[in-house]
C-alpha cells in the first residue's frame, strides 16, 4: 500500500492517507450530506452539480496525484469512523514548495472541533516532514464555518481573489490565507490548544462576510 504520510492523531480525531477501501464510506457521506456540501463544491463551468459519485475513480485520481508528488489526500476519522476528507492539492516543488489545503466533514460532526484539529495536524505535517514551505487556504466569504477554522488556527490573511473558482453555478470570490514555515515558533495544533493564537481582526476583509452571492439561473 502506497502511503505518503503517517497516521496523525489528536484525541478523537485522526487523519491518514485515503485508500481505495474508503470508497464505500466516501460515497455514503457525499450522498448523505448533499445539502450540507453542495453549495461549497467546485464544479466544471457549464455542468450541473453531480447526483452520483464515482468514489473509486475519485480516490484513484487522488492517489495518482500523491504518487506524482502534487497532492496529499487524507481521510478524516472521528473515533475510527470516516468523517470527511482533507486534501493538500496543487503542490508545486522547486522554488515554491507550496500547496493549497481544502477540507470537508459530514454535517453530524460540525461544531465538534474536528475540522480545525484535522487542519492543524496536516498543516504541521506538511510544513515539517512533508517538506512544504507554504500552505494556502482559500475560502468563500459566505462560508463562516470555514473562515472560523483558519481564524482560530492563526492563518495569515493575504487578500481577496475575485471570481476565483467555479462553485454552485457561478465563479465565486474567495478570501485567501496562508502560513509559511518560518512564521511558526511552535506547531499550529499546539499553539491553538494552548491559547496562543493572536485574536483575528475581521476588519481586514475587503467585503462583507456571511452574505450569500446570487446564483444565476441555468435554465436556458
Q: Distance between terminal CA atoms of the chain?
A: 47
What are the pLDDT digits (tens) for 30-48?
999 988 888 888 888 877 7
Taking residue 101's Cβ as centre, other Cβ atoms within 10 Å add up to 25
Contact present, 118 and 131 (Cβ < 8 Å): no
Number of H helices, E strands in the chain: 6, 8
> pLDDT at residue 4 above 60?
yes
Q: Return the pLDDT at 175.
A: 96
Q: How far is CA 15 from CA 6, 50, 78, 148, 199, in A?
A: 9, 26, 9, 20, 27
Helix (H) or strand (E) holding 78: strand 72-78
Task: Give the pLDDT band of residue 218 (cuts 50, 70, 90).
Answer: very low
Q: Return the pLDDT at 118.
A: 98
Q: Report the percent of the chain where pLDDT is more than 90.
A: 80
Mean pLDDT of 11-23: 98
Q: Does domain 8-199 have CATH number 3.90.330.10?
A: no
> Domain residue spans in the chain?
8-199
Task: Give the pLDDT band of residue 213 (cuts 50, 70, 90).
Answer: low
C-alpha cell at 39: 453549495
Give the DSSP per-residue string, 84-115.
EEEEEEEEE-TTT-EEEEEEEE-GGGTTTTHH
| Cα Rg of the chain, angstroms | 17
Q: Return the pLDDT at 219.
A: 36
C-alpha cell at 77: 476519522
Q: Return the pLDDT at 215.
A: 43
Residues 167 and 156: their CA atoms lie apart, in Å, by 24
Task: Give the pLDDT band of residue 216 (cuts 50, 70, 90).
Answer: very low
Amino acid at each position: 500500500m502506497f502511503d505518503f504520510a503517517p497516521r496523525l492523531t489528536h484525541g478523537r480525531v485522526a487523519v491518514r492517507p485515503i485508500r481505495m477501501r474508503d470508497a464505500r464510506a466516501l460515497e455514503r457521506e457525499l450522498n448523505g450530506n448533499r445539502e450540507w456540501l453542495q453549495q461549497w463544491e467546485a464544479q466544471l463551468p457549464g455542468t450541473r452539480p453531480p447526483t452520483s459519485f464515482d468514489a473509486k475513480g475519485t480516490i484513484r485520481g487522488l492517489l495518482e496525484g500523491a504518487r506524482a508528488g502534487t497532492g496529499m489526500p487524507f481521510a478524516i476519522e472521528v473515533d475510527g469512523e470516516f468523517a470527511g476528507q482533507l486534501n493538500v492539492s496543487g503542490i508545486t516543488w522547486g522554488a515554491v514548495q507550496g500547496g493549497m489545503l481544502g477540507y470537508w466533514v459530514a454535517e453530524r460532526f460540525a461544531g465538534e472541533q474536528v475540522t480545525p484539529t484535522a487542519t492543524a495536524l496536516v498543516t504541521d505535517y506538511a510544513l515539517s516532514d512533508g517538506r512544504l514551505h507554504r500552505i494556502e487556504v482559500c475560502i468563500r466569504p459566505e462560508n463562516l464555518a470555514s473562515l472560523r477554522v483558519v481564524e482560530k488556527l492563526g492563518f495569515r490573511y493575504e487578500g481577496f481573489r475575485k471570481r476565483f473558482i467555479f462553485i454552485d453555478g457561478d465563479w465565486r470570490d474567495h478570501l485567501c490565507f496562508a502560513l509559511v514555515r518560518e512564521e511558526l515558533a511552535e506547531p499550529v495544533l499546539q499553539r491553538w490548544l494552548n491559547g496562543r493564537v493572536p485574536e483575528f481582526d475581521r476588519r481586514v476583509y475587503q467585503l462583507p462576510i456571511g452574505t450569500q452571492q446570487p446564483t444565476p439561473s441555468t435554465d436556458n
